[in-house]
């Protein structure tokens, strides 16, 4: 039916083309409504798509173009203004966001996007260190917004700013200068909490009483009760976890996703445990110097008990050096450099580094897959060399044989030389194996001849003279050389002798058991066709970058032979994950991606050691080092493995039924069976 509908549509289009002149002159019938093309909407949607795809420079150009079109010609002026503001933030330009925000508020006082603009403006002020201005904008969001998520995030941020950056004296001045009753009431409650934390209970109670009589809103009734309960308890010092991420600049998209996951984990923890733990979020802009500054600031604050971040290995090395010297535990959620943990006992890696990935994959290759002869084809950079070297060490220790190591630089567009060397190694091994098998079976032939016994049936006899073999059958006698004798006596098959003296791609190399290819995801489209073309019958072992199910489905032969290792795996079909995704999306406003889950799992693993006991920096370090394996949404984390303070949990994956699934896992350096979450 769909096919015939398509045919009818094509016929209709042809008819329209034929009668083009008539249609151009035709007038619409009375009462007929012709919808005009909304070119602004088309352009706006294109800009939103660029923004969602993280092509922020392209989005900026589009929203600047739209924002330059005034009313009434532009019915999307308000929406494009918001997107322009958000795009500036993603590009790491808070100064321009601070310029655009007030202009928007002045021009679009009745806009439905006013709360979003104020929230983004608050973020810009916070990044710039203008804390009073940030507090004001977040309070405005809490006052005017109907969106629960925005109100919650604003409240959480305001409370953290007040606790860390604003003294009680400054907060009192801020409250007195506030014009909105909502602001004054909220700040009075926070001032009471701040006095209580400082041990001035008398002043705290006075502040609380001063606002009680004017509270009429149900929201403040609830907040008043919460504050009253806090004041009745013994004053407890808030505990903070420092977070250093790139929230602006070229890596902002990764940093913001990680932060979303961390905030969600912290929100869950506070909802379930009676412990005052909050986060101090610092933007390092993806820069080394800024990372060091933020690390020093956090380490100087005794309330900060641990640090999570940064993203890149380069920035992490700088922060880890500072944190370890100041004896502050630090966990990096994403850095992969294999030397980071060597900076000191306070440095932890939640990501499985290249060394461990290579070592664990090599162990699986020899212990489980039982391969013996292995070749490698790797990028000649830090990633490729670290993973390949660790893999080869593991294979060597298990008694395996590395027969060829090949490297490439840049894009693997043409690897004829590398594959030719691998094939020559395979031919050499095939000839060695053939010689060994011939020698073994020659001994059997000699035994038959010496015993004058019949071989296999009563119709075949073997006799030997000089270097010739005489084979007697029921009706024939043959005088042949050794190879022909082995074939006639069926000790070997004639196909085993068909190894070419000169390499030919028609000959399939099956003497190499395994081929390590730790490629980048962007390299696979060039590598896979070459793996097929060069006719290697070997099991393929790879890094997590091979997690490309759409591409693998197009190359089923490669997919069947492929096993790869990854530090993360998301079982999107499990009920466990679906429940998590539903609740996460409801609070954060978007579905979790890989980095959201990295942030969530890293924060939850750290929070698991914050119990009712001592939460000092040294204690946290000791508990992390001995932490039981944390089983997360997308990754498991254990620092007790083969290398201290480096995560030793990973997944061994294959493609089954068109889906990527684990066949095993690693924990503390051991290969274990995989237990799915239901």
Instruction: Return the pLDDT at 10.
Output: 32
Rounded Cα distance, 332 and 316, in Å:
7
* Backbone φ, ψ for residue 398 (5° rounding): -90, 0
Q: Which has more pLDDT, 393 or 615?
A: 393
Percent of the chain with pLDDT over 90: 47
* pLDDT tens digit sequence for 303-350: 899 999 899 999 999 999 999 999 999 999 999 888 898 899 999 999
Instruction: Return the pLDDT at 162.
Output: 81
Lowest-confidence segment of 25-34, 223-232, 621-630 by average pLDDT: 25-34
Full DSSP string of 570-629? --TTSHHHHHHHHHHHHHHSS---HHHHHHHHHHHHHHTT--SS---HHHHHHHHHTPPP
| Domains defined along the chain, listed by start | 39-232 (1.25.40.10), 237-352+574-640 (3.40.50.2300), 360-566 (3.40.50.2300)
| Highest-pLDDT range among 95-109, 276-290, 462-476, 478-492 | 95-109
Check pLDDT > 80 for residue 4: no
Rounded Cα distance, 350 and 668, in Å:
13
Check pLDDT > 50 for residue 13: no
Check pLDDT > 70 for residue 190: yes
Percent of the chain with pLDDT over 70: 87
Check pLDDT > 50 for residue 666: yes
* pLDDT tens digit sequence for 497-511: 888 888 888 889 989
Mean pLDDT, rounded, for 592-605: 94
Check pLDDT > 80 for residue 465: no
| Highest-pLDDT range among 127-141, 206-220, 555-569 | 555-569
Instruction: Return the pLDDT at 24.
Output: 36
Mean pLDDT, rounded, for 65-69: 90
Contacts made by residues 13-16, CB under 8 angstroms, sequence distance 24+: none
**Distant-in-sequence, close-in-space partners of 336: CB < 8 Å, separation ≥ 6:** 313, 351, 352, 353, 354, 383
| pTM tops 0.85, yes or no | no
Handedness of CA 582, 586, 591, 597 (dihedral sign): negative
Give the mean pLDDT of the chain: 84
**What tokens appear for 272 in the block?**
């379930």
**Distant-in-sequence, close-in-space partners of 522: CB < 8 Å, separation ≥ 6:** 411
Lowest-confidence segment of 287-296, 320-329, 583-592 by average pLDDT: 583-592
Mean pLDDT, rounded, for 175-183: 86
């Amino acid at each position: 039916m769909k096919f015939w509908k398509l045919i009818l549509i094509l016929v209709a289009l042809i008819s329209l083309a034929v009668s083009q002149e008539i249609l151009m002159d035709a007038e619409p019938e009375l009462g007929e409504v012709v919808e005009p093309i909304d070119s602004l909407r088309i352009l706006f949607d294109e800009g939103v798509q660029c923004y969602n795809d993280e092509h922020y420079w392209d989005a900026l150009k589009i929203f600047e173009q739209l924002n330059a079109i005034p009313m009434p010609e532009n019915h999307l002026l308000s929406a494009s203004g918001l997107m322009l503001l958000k795009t500036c933030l993603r590009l790491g330009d808070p100064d321009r966001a601070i310029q655009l925000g007030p202009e928007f508020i002045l021009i679009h006082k009745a806009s439905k996007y006013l709360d979003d603009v104020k929230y983004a403006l608050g973020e810009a002020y916070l990044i710039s260190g203008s804390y009073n201005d940030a507090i004001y904008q977040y309070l405005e969001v809490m006052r005017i917004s109907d969106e629960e998520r925005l109100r919650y995030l604003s409240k959480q941020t305001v409370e953290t700013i007040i606790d860390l950056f604003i003294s009680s004296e400054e907060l009192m001045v801020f409250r007195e200068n506030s014009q909105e009753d909502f602001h004054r009431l909220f700040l009075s409650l926070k001032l009471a909490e701040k006095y209580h934390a400082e041990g001035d209970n008398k002043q705290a109670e006075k502040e609380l009483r001063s606002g009680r009589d004017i509270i009429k809103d149900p929201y403040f009734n609830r907040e008043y009760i919460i504050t009253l309960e806090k004041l009745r308890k013994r004053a407890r010092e808030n505990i903070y976890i420092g977070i250093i991420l790139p929230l602006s600049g070229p890596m902002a998209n990764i940093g913001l996703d990680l932060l979303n996951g961390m905030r969600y984990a912290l929100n869950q923890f506070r909802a379930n445990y009676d412990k005052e733990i909050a986060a101090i979020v610092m933007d390092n802009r993806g820069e080394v110097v800024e990372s060091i500054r933020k690390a020093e600031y956090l380490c100087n604050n005794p309330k900060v008990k641990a640090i999570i971040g940064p993203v890149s290995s380069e920035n992490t090395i700088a922060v880890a050096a500072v944190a370890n010297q100041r004896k502050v535990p630090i966990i990096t959620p994403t850095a992969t450099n294999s030397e980071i943990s060597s900076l000191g006992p306070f440095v932890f890696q939640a990501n499985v580094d290249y060394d461990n990935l290579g070592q664990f994959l090599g162990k699986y290759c020899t212990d489980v897959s039982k391969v013996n002869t292995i070749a490698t084809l790797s990028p000649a950079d830090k990633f490729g060399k670290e993973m390949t070297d660790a893999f080869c060490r593991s294979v060597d220790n298990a008694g395996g044989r590395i027969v060829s190591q090949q490297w490439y630089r840049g894009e693997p567009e043409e690897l004829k030389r590398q594959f030719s060397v691998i094939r020559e190694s395979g031919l050499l091994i095939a000839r060695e194996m053939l010689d060994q098998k011939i020698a073994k079976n020659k001994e059997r032939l000699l035994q038959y001849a010496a015993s004058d016994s019949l071989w296999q049936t009563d119709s075949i006899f073997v006799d030997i003279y000089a270097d010739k073999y005489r084979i007697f059958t029921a009706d024939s006698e043959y005088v042949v050389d050794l190879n022909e004798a082995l074939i006639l006596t069926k000790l070997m098959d004639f196909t085993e002798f068909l190894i070419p003296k000169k390499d030919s791609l028609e000959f399939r190399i099956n003497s190499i058991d395994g081929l390590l290819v730790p490629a980048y995801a962007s390299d696979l489209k060039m590598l896979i066709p070459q793996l097929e073309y060069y006719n290697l019958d070997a099991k393929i072992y790879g890094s997590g970058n091979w997690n490309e199910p759409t591409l693998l489905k197009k190359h089923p032969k490669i997919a069947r032979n492929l096993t790869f290792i990854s530090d993360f795996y998301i079982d999107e079909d499990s009920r466990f994950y679906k429940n998590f995704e539903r609740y996460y999306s409801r609070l954060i406003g978007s579905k979790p991606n890989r980095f959201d889950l990295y942030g969530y799992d890293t924060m939850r693993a750290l929070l698991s050691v914050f119990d009712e006991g001592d939460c000092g920096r040294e204690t946290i370090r000791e508990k992390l080092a001995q932490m039981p394996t944390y089983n997360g949404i997308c990754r498991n984390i254990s620092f007790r493995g083969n290398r201290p303070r480096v995560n030793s949990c990973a997944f061994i994956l294959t493609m089954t039924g068109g889906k990527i699934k684990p066949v095993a896992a690693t924990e503390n350096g051991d290969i274990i069976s995989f237990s799915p979450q239901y």
